[in-house]
Amino acid sequence: MKTTKIVSMLVAAALFAGCYNDFDNPAPAKIWTQDEVDATGASHRTIAEVKQIFTDKFGGLSGTGSNSSWNDTKYYQFDEDIYIKGKVISNDREGNIFKSLFLLDETGGIEIRLTNGNFLTYHMGAYNDAKTEIPSQWVYVKLKGLYIGNYRMMLSIGNGPTDSYNAVGEHKFYANSNLELPEQIAEHVLPGEETTLVVGTDIKVVNETNYTQLGEADFGRLIRFEGVKCRYAGVDTQESLYPEQYPDYEKPAPLKNGSYEQIYPSWIYTDVRPIVNKPWYRWAFSEKNTNLYGSVCFVYNDDATYTSDKGVYMVRTSGYSRFSGHGVVKDGAVGNITGIYAIYSKKSKYQGGASDYATYQISLNRYMDLEFAESDFLTEEEVIALTPADSYVTPDVDDDID
């Protein structure tokens, strides 16, 4: 009996030591090839074909992403054993991309809703204007059992539908949710071989000559906007600080979103009614333990009056991003921006104007994807001087907001 106990203890100790050594020296992560994924019995579909499954079932994107009730929250669960293969075009290291992995193939891009720290497993290298190829990685996503859903005309792939409540007790319906359990992610999202993103092919280049050609097929793609101009709307510009230099200064008019006036740059708080937004000269709001999205407008079309007009884009930045507190660029500054291209609208015919409430957005992977001269950015003194006192008041921590 005593000998049996000793043997059992030695076996347990050996197993513990083996686990400890494995922890210290983990095996390399499995790298999948397309042949191996095919060998599982799954069939390959392009990203465009997968999106088409949704649009064929529901008649398109417009009007299928209202998400105000389960009746107008549209989703489809994949029952076929199929997969997509895409290059990684997102990086969540700086906190602006959150719980999302964006993939691209030759037909388009799409969001996969996952968990935090995706950059540790799914790799995309740094971008700058001196490079024509950027390191990336193939990723395979097995779709059977997952859901494709629409939120404000942006399709994503994830777990089952879910809902929650906002601060005023209203339902928030979501067509799908995040895959967060490691076992489920490992079952569906398979890291693949190294590859590259080619500027001009994988990373689409847009400028003042071709911006009108952007369309629905470009939603979810990584795009390099070259020579795009910052436009302030409904808020004071840096010129207001120097009356002797600019004696004829006038505050620029707001942009319109349908019948609503919109100001830029600004922060926005959507969990109250009516929604509150204020002038804000940093990329996002991170004050008083409150983190809110910020929006900065950039245009090719100087004559645009609506957010839905072609050539009008909002760089939307999370208050949790590492660069949220940096000052924005000056009104009229021209530079290059690389980011994920998206739309935010319940419905749109992509025609702009008063009857179209769309807003086109650019989401940054990294701060370095803003390519502007150092002199194009507001100084800290200018940021403070331009920001109205009531812009620091937030409805979740202050009771006296109007």
Per-residue pLDDT of the chain (402 residues; tens, 9 = 90+): 444 444 444 444 443 334 434 445 556 779 999 999 999 999 999 999 999 999 999 999 999 988 888 988 999 999 999 999 999 999 999 999 999 999 999 999 999 999 999 999 999 987 655 568 899 999 999 999 999 999 999 999 999 999 887 777 778 899 999 999 999 999 999 999 999 999 999 999 999 999 999 999 999 999 999 999 999 999 999 999 999 999 999 999 999 999 899 999 999 998 888 889 999 999 999 998 899 999 999 999 999 999 999 999 999 999 999 999 999 999 999 999 999 999 999 999 999 999 999 999 999 999 999 999 999 999 999 999 999 999 998 776 554 444
Place of tokens 């019948």: 259
Termini Cα distance of the chain:
79
Q: Please give the angle made by the CA atoms of 180, 315 and 361, to the nearest 5 degrees.
A: 70
- Give the whole-angstrom CA distance, residue 135 versus residue 253: 42
What pLDDT is stored for residue 181 in this prediction? Answer: 96
State whether the Cα torsion 301-307-247-377 is positive or negative: negative
Distance, CA of 320 to chain centre: 13
Distance between CA 398 and CA 247 in Å, rounded?
A: 37
List the one residue out of 68, 46, 260, 269 whose CA is nearest residue 150. Answer: 68
Q: What is the pTM of this model?
A: 0.91
Place of tokens 């910020």: 294
Amino acid at 325: G
What integer pLDDT is reported at residue 275 of this predicted model?
86
- Phi–psi pair at 89, nearest 5 degrees: -125, 15
Strands (E), 78-161: 82-88, 100-105, 108-113, 133-142, 147-151, 154-158
Burial class (CB in 10 A: 0-12, 13-18, 19+), 292: buried
**Amino acid identity, position 217:** A
Is residue 264 within 8 A of residue 279, CB to CB? The reply is: no
CA distances, 227 to each of 180, 252, 300, 313 (Å): 39, 21, 8, 13
- Looking at residue 141, its pLDDT comes to 98
Residue 372's nearest CA partner among 283, 311, 264, 293 is: 283
Give me the residue label for tokens 């409805």. Answer: 395
